[in-house]
Amino acid sequence: MEKGTALTIQADERGLSAREVTISYGGDPIVRELSIDIPHGGLTMIIGPNGCGKSTLVKAFARVLKPVGGRILLHGRDLGGYRAKEAARQVALLPQSPVAPDGITVRGLVRRGRYPHHTLLRQWSPADDAAIAFALERTGLVELADAQASELSGGQRQRAWIAMVLAQETELLLLDEPTTFLDIAHQYELLELCGELHREGRTIVAVLHDLNQAARFASHLVVMNEGRVVAQGPPDEVLTAELVAEVFGLPCDIVPDPRTGTPMVVPHARHPAGEHAPAGRAQVADRA
């Protein structure tokens, strides 16, 4: 496990990294002098309290936000030096809560992933059809390809967005809170798909809120707090009771997941067995 804010590790020429990056929305910095390497070929999960800079960092990795200080490197080259389509052929972003255009079909949505590959001289080709067919098959959406995106369930719709970024045919996928608004079964379905894509060689970075899900699926866990990386490494080394209490303010035990053996957070009861919440709090709960 590595701790601190200025990690002096050599940039992976094949990967994505940040060097002393500061990011702001115009006021106080959200991310402060952050340095990190994203392991090439890894499934990196970024966790941390609300407002700690997780999504902000991912947006900077995708060129949605430009750092006010420091550098983001893609394959050892400053990300700002890439042309937009050049970068989009290498890094794909699934943002939080994307909205599909009215009337678009699943196939039409997935087709949008091919735009970075088109130029004035290179328009639609058999390679585009092959990429779309692969993305639909990989996400289990072949039979829904001609359905309206607006008619899909939440889990199906999220898979359609994943298919779009798969059709983009990038080696690196950035997923910003991809399980938001999904029910528990669809959350695990999506994370299993991410695990499969990772095992097939994709580099994936995902922002998650659920610590147990992150620990179960990540090959590399990054913990952020107050705009900085406070710990990173294998989940079984990073996720400790002391760290969860310090970063999230949650007293807990860390035990092995009975299915996977990965770290599992078990929060302490706020009130020991046999005790009850204060009367005032119970009354408020009854009125809720």
Q: Where are the beta strands (DSSP E) in the chain?
A: 16-23, 31-38, 43-47, 69-74, 77-78, 91-94, 172-176, 203-207, 220-225, 228-233, 252-256, 263-267
Give whole-number Cα distances, 81 to 20, 117, 174, in Å: 18, 18, 19
Residues 53 and 178 occupy one common structural domain: yes
> What are the φ/ψ torsions at residue 177 (nearest 5 degrees)?
50, 60
Q: Is the pLDDT of residue 278 over 60?
A: no
pTM: 0.86
Q: What is the CATH number of the domain that holds 227?
A: 3.40.50.300
Residues 129 and 56 occupy one common structural domain: no
The answer to the question of residue 164 being in a domain is: yes
Residues 72-118 have pLDDT tens digits of 999 999 999 999 999 999 999 999 888 889 999 999 999 999 999 98
The answer to the question of residue 8 being in a domain is: yes
HSE value, Cβ hemisphere, 13 Å, CA-based, for 185: 4
Interatomic CA distance for residues 83 and 93, integer angstroms = 16
The length of the chain is 288
Residues 74 and 183 occupy one common structural domain: yes
Query: How much is the average pLDDT of 250-278?
Result: 85
Q: Is the Cα torsion angle 176, 181, 187, 190 positive or negative in sign?
A: negative
Q: What is the pLDDT of residue 274?
A: 55
Q: Is the pLDDT of residue 275 over 70?
A: no
Q: Is the pLDDT of residue 2 over 70?
A: no
Q: What angle do CA 169, 54, 210 make, to 5 degrees?
A: 90
Residues 132-142 have pLDDT tens digits of 999 999 999 99
Q: Is the pLDDT of residue 280 over 70?
A: no
Q: What is the pLDDT of residue 12?
A: 46
The answer to the question of residue 277 being in a domain is: no
Interatomic CA distance for residues 177 and 59, integer angstroms = 12
Residues 205-227 have pLDDT tens digits of 999 999 999 999 999 999 999 99
Interatomic CA distance for residues 174 and 188, integer angstroms = 18
What would the two tokens of residue 51 be? 């407002």
Residues 98 and 157 occupy one common structural domain: yes
Structural domain harbouring 48: 1-89+173-193+204-269
DSSP 3-state of 37: strand
Q: What is the pLDDT of residue 15?
A: 86
- 205: Cβ–Cβ under 8 A, 6 or more apart, which residues? 16, 38, 44, 46, 58, 61, 172, 173, 174, 175
Residues 10 and 98 occupy one common structural domain: no
Residue 264: which region, alpha, beta or left (left: phi > 0; alpha: psi -120 to 50)? beta
Query: How much is the average pLDDT of 152-180?
Result: 93
Residues 38 and 161 occupy one common structural domain: no
The answer to the question of residue 274 being in a domain is: no
The count of structural domains within the chain is 2
Residues 210 and 133 occupy one common structural domain: no
Residues 115 and 233 occupy one common structural domain: no
CA neighbor of 167 nearest in space, from 110, 100, 206, 248: 110
